[in-house]
Structure 1
C-alpha cells in the first residue's frame, strides 16, 4: 500500500522507506470506518419515537500513522519539516491511496497538525496524521460510455460528466434513469461541450458558458445494475467508480 499526500509518499510495503505506514493504521478509508450519518431528530408529538427523516453522510476523516526512518540528525530534521509542511497553508490537496483494491482518491485538507515523536535521535521517529474530506465520496477509475448501458464498480451513487462533440443542433437532451440535462446551445463542427452535471456548468471549447441549458439535473449512475444513457450519437458519459 502507498499513500500519497503533497510531496510525500507513505509506504506500507516491505523494504526501506523514509515514511512507513503501520499495519492496520489506515482508518476512515473505504471499508475502514468511513463517513458518519447525520439527520434531524424531530420527536413525534404525543407519540413514541421520532419523525422519519432522510439521513445524509457526513464528511470523512482519514488517519494513519507509522515510522520515519532516517540516517542522520540533519536528515531527520528535514523529514520532520517536510511532514509539518504538508497542506500547511490550509488549502486542499489530493490524497491518493494505492492498494490491492486499486487506486482511489479524494481532496482533503489537514484535520489537525501531524503528531511526531523522536524515538531514536537522528534515525527513528513516529508520526500520526489526519486529513478531512468535506465530501464523503472516494473516487476510483473513470469509465467512458457512448449512449447505451452505463455502470460503475463503486458502492455509492456516481454523478457523471458528459462531453458532446459538434456538429450538434440545439436543444439536445442527455438522460440517465429519468434524470435529464437539456442543453440549448448548438455546436458547430469541431466544437465541444464539456458538461459538469453535478454543478450545472457547461464549457464550450474550455470556456464557461452562461444561460445555455433549460433543465439541469445531475446525471446519477447507481452502483450495481447498469442504467441506460441516452443522448446524441456524439455524446459520451464519464462515470467514476464512487465509494463511501
Structure 2
C-alpha cells in the first residue's frame, strides 16, 4: 500500500505509517488543512425592511496547512542537518510548492511559510519533535494537466471549476475562440509563426511570452467544470490547444 508523502522545497515528510517510515528523517503525525476546504466568506448585507440578507457571492479564504511530528537522526551531525532543513524552509519569504501524494493522487499548491517552525531535540536521544505551517493564498489545490485539441471535450477530474489556458498557433490574422454558452474570446491579430497563450483567469494574451495590450475585442472568460459534460472549444482560424488542470478545494 502506498504511503503518504509531503514534499516542500526539497524536503520530504513521510506519513506515520510504520511500514513506510524512513530510517531517518521527518515523519508527520498531524497534517491539517490540506484535506479540508478553506472557510467560505462573503458579505452580509441585510435587506432593509425585509426578511433575510441580499444574495451575494461567496468565495473561499486562503488555505492554512499545519504539520507536526517527529524526526529521527543517525548522528548528532544529521540531527543538526535536519534542524537546518526545517528552519530554512522558505525562510526568506519566497513562494514555494507543497506537493502531496495521498490516496494514490498527487496534488500541489503554492505556499509561503506561516508562523515559526519548531524543532526540539528529545534530550540526548536521536529523536526530535517538530512543527511547521504553510499558508496558500489560493484556496485551490491542483493536480494533473491535460491537453485538448479544438473540437475535443475539455474535462478535468477535480471537484472545483478549473481555469483553462489556450495556446494558438498557425495564423497571422485575428481569431475567435468559442467557449460555452455562446461566450467568445476574440483577438484582432494572430501570432504568425509564434504562439499566443491566453490565460482565462485574467484574459491576458501573451505572444511568445510577451504581454500584448489592446488586441482583444471581446474578452469573455469561462471555466471548465469538474467531470462531464466538460467544454468543447473551437477556433475560427489557426490551431487551438487547451490545457485544463485538475482543480480541487
When the two chains are superposed, the root-mean-square deviation of aligned CA atoms in Å is 1.8
Residue 48 of structure 1 and its aligned partner are, at CA, apart by 4.0
- In the other structure, the counterpart of 2:78 is 75
Q: Give the distance between the partners of 1:194 and 1:92, measured in 2 at CA.
A: 23
- In the other structure, the counterpart of 1:133 is 136
Structure 1 stretches of 4+ moved >6 Å: none
Q: Give the distance between the partners of 2:62 and 2:119, measured in 1 at CA.
A: 25
- In the other structure, the counterpart of 2:202 is 199
Residue 122 of structure 1 and its aligned partner are, at CA, apart by 5.2
> Which of 231, 239, 248 is equivalent to 1:243?
248
> Which of 30, 33, 47 is equivalent to 1:28?
33
SS of the aligned residue for 1:185 comes to strand
Q: Give the distance between the partners of 2:70 and 2:221, measured in 1 at CA.
A: 43
| Cα displacement string for residues 127-186 of structure 1 (whole angstroms, at most 9, x for unaligned residues) | 12111111111110001001221111000000000111113421x111321332211112
TM-score (norm 1): 0.90
Q: Give the distance between the partners of 1:10 and 1:124, measured in 2 at CA.
A: 15
Q: Give the distance between the partners of 2:37 and 2:217, measured in 1 at CA.
A: 37
Alignment size in residue pairs: 238
Answer with 207-216 or 60-69: which moved more. 207-216
Contact 1:11–1:21 at 8 Å: present in 2 too?
Answer: yes
SS of the aligned residue for 1:221 comes to coil
Structure 1 residues 113 and 72: CA distance shift in structure 2, 3 A: same
- Aligned pairs for 1:3-82 within 5 A: 3-12=6-15, 13-22=20-29, 25-29=30-34, 32-82=35-85
- In the other structure, the counterpart of 2:168 is 164
Structure 1 segments unaligned to the other structure (5+ residues) = none
Structure 2 segments unaligned to the other structure (5+ residues) = none
> Which of 185, 209, 223 is equivalent to 2:189?
185
Residue 74 of structure 1 and its aligned partner are, at CA, apart by 2.5
TM-score (norm 2): 0.88
